[in-house]
Amino acid sequence: MRAQDLIKKKRDGGALTPTEIQFLIEGYTSGYIPDYQMSALTMAVFFQGMTKEETVALTTCMLHSGLVVDLSMIPGKKVDKHSTGGVGDKISLPLAPAVAAAGVTVPMISGRGLGHTGGTLDKLESIPGFQVDLPLDRYIAILQQAGLCLIGQTQDIAPADKKLYALRDVTATVESIPLITASILSKKLAEGIDGIVFDVKTGSGAFMKNDDDALKLAQNLVNIAVMMGKDAVALITDMDQPLGNAVGNTLEMLESIDVLRGEGPQDVVALTIELGAYMLKFGGAATAIEQGRETIRRVLSDGSAFEKFRQLVKLQGGDATVITDPSRFQRATYHLPVCAEMAGYVEAIQSEQIGVASMLIGAGRERLDSPIDHAVGIMLRKKIGDHVEVGEPLCVVEYNDDTKLEDAVALIRQAYRLGEIRPEKPKLIKAIIT
């Protein structure tokens, strides 16, 4: 077999066989197939797409390029959630403990923030001492004991994706639905899960900026996961404004603690309940979605989800006293309100600009190795549909370093659009794809 023949086949619209895909992925991961041939192949896939069968074969090869965790020693179904990422998306923090408190095991391998989006690991690390880099045996032991564990990606999970994603990033081939699907699924299925709930974000702060693309990705993720023997559903959810009110690591942790205490912003609570309900159904703890919703509402209000989170924090080396007394979290020194220059209704909030502003003050990273300041961030005081008077704060910037503060404030001002007519609040859950 020769890579150039397979590139030509794909370029001309043919479908590659599982053996051909295996040859390409194994060859690329081992270094036998060079970057220039894989670049040509990914560009051919970008234009010609892939059949479902090809995508399954690609996902399978990428999944088995590394470690696939075996959790069969833990009884019951293991279920996770994957979000395509957004601004203020802290849902994993209340969701995983709520689902585990309801009796379903949640193995969660998460990522770090990059660019305008935050990452679950950075939010967890706002808790002093919290360890996200754990050896596999400790990860499994915590899962067995607590029913959940949240760790970072290890080097041994889907190495083919690591190499391929870096190549796609510099060859303008990221935005290909089959390549994105294989990339996401190869990492998620390596966790040893039986079911997965996808939260596919759409809007100004999302990877998928419009509903059509989000729908296509959601459908493909669900189809391929099901073809690979997993339970799967996708919720298409709004990212045309940040989720909740907090953007920034400690601030999002505090908001998540509120949710775990039965409080918190309505949108964060609603999404936790909805995603959790599907996870409970897949995990066998609910026979119907409405029953799942009721259970999640109960564990959030009766303190059991909060207790589960406290247990997790202790097991992962964190200082659990900050969870019970959140006033002990380290906070930013300076607070700057960004005030409305006219009265009116908030018509739109460009989430990406809020995310970039938060990154500029140090809450996020421009490059994977940039340092971050967990304490800083932005607290939104007004969201779409809210009325604001002249001089009233739209949000408050909590910062320590003012080097890029002016640029951040300018971006926040651009992000908010005010008008005279009260707009409808955006629908949080736009579609459910099964």
Beta-bridged to residue 419, according to DSSP, are 345
Instruction: Provide the residue count of the chain.
Output: 434
Which residue blocks in 109-247 are alpha helix, DSSP H?
120-124, 136-146, 159-170, 177-189, 211-227
**Choices 23-31, 115-123, 174-182, 234-242; region in contact with ligand URA by CB under 6 A:** 174-182
Is residue 190 near ligand URA by the rule CB under 6 A?
Answer: no
Nearest approach, Cβ of residue 184 and ligand URA (Å)? 5
The CA dihedral of 252, 242, 201, 352, to the nearest 10 degrees, is: -110
3-state secondary structure of 426: coil
Q: Catalytic annotation on 365? A: no
User: Which of 44/409 has CB closer to ligand URA?
Assistant: 44
Is residue 174 near ligand URA by the rule CB under 6 A?
Answer: yes
The site map against ligand URA for 199-238 (x = CB under 6 A) is --------x-------------------------------
Is residue 183 near ligand URA by the rule CB under 6 A?
Answer: yes
Instruction: Give one DSSP letter per residue of 71-107, joined into a string.
Output: -TTS-S-BEEEEE---SS--THHHHHHHHHHTT-BEE
Q: Catalytic annotation on 161? A: yes
Sign of the alpha-carbon torsion through 396, 406, 368, 225: positive
Q: Report CA-CA distances (Å) from 256 to 220, 260, 354.
A: 30, 6, 19
Give the residue, chosen from 180, 222, 254, 271, that forms a contact with ligand URA under the rule CB under 6 A.
180
Q: Tell which residue, 105, 106, 108, has the closest CA to residue 75.
A: 105
Q: Catalytic annotation on 82? A: yes
Q: Of the residues 187, 188, 201, 281, which is catalytic?
A: 187
Is residue 65 near ligand URA by the rule CB under 6 A?
Answer: no
- Show contacts with ligand URA in window 374-413 (CB under 6 A): none
Helices 289-301 & 304-315, crossing angle to 10 degrees?
Answer: 70
Q: Of the residues 161, 199, 240, 258, which is catalytic?
A: 161
Pair of tokens at residue 153: 């990606």
User: Which of 177/360 has CB closer to ligand URA?
Assistant: 177
Q: Of the residues 168, 188, 308, 383, which is catalytic?
A: 168
User: Which of 186/311 has CB closer to ligand URA?
Assistant: 186
User: Which of 183/204 has CB closer to ligand URA?
Assistant: 183
Amino acid at 213: D
Q: Of the residues 10, 78, 81, 82, which is catalytic?
A: 82
Q: How far apart are CA 198 and CA 83, in angstroms?
A: 6
User: Which of 90/201 has CB closer to ligand URA?
Assistant: 201
Nearest approach, Cβ of residue 378 and ligand URA (Å)? 24
Is residue 33 near ligand URA by the rule CB under 6 A?
Answer: no
CB closest to ligand URA, residue no:
183
**Choices 37-45, 135-143, 172-180, 354-362; region in contact with ligand URA by CB under 6 A:** 172-180
Q: How far apart are CA 303 and CA 287, in angstroms?
A: 23
Q: How many helices (H) and strands (E) does the chain have?
A: 17, 13
Nearest approach, Cβ of residue 84 and ligand URA (Å)? 7
CB-based burial label for 424 (10 Å; 0-12, 13-18, 19+) = exposed
Nearest approach, Cβ of residue 13 and ligand URA (Å)? 22
Is residue 184 near ligand URA by the rule CB under 6 A?
Answer: yes
Where along the sequence are the contacts to ligand URA (CB under 6 A)? 165, 174, 179-180, 183-184, 207
Return the active site residues.
82, 161, 168, 183, 187
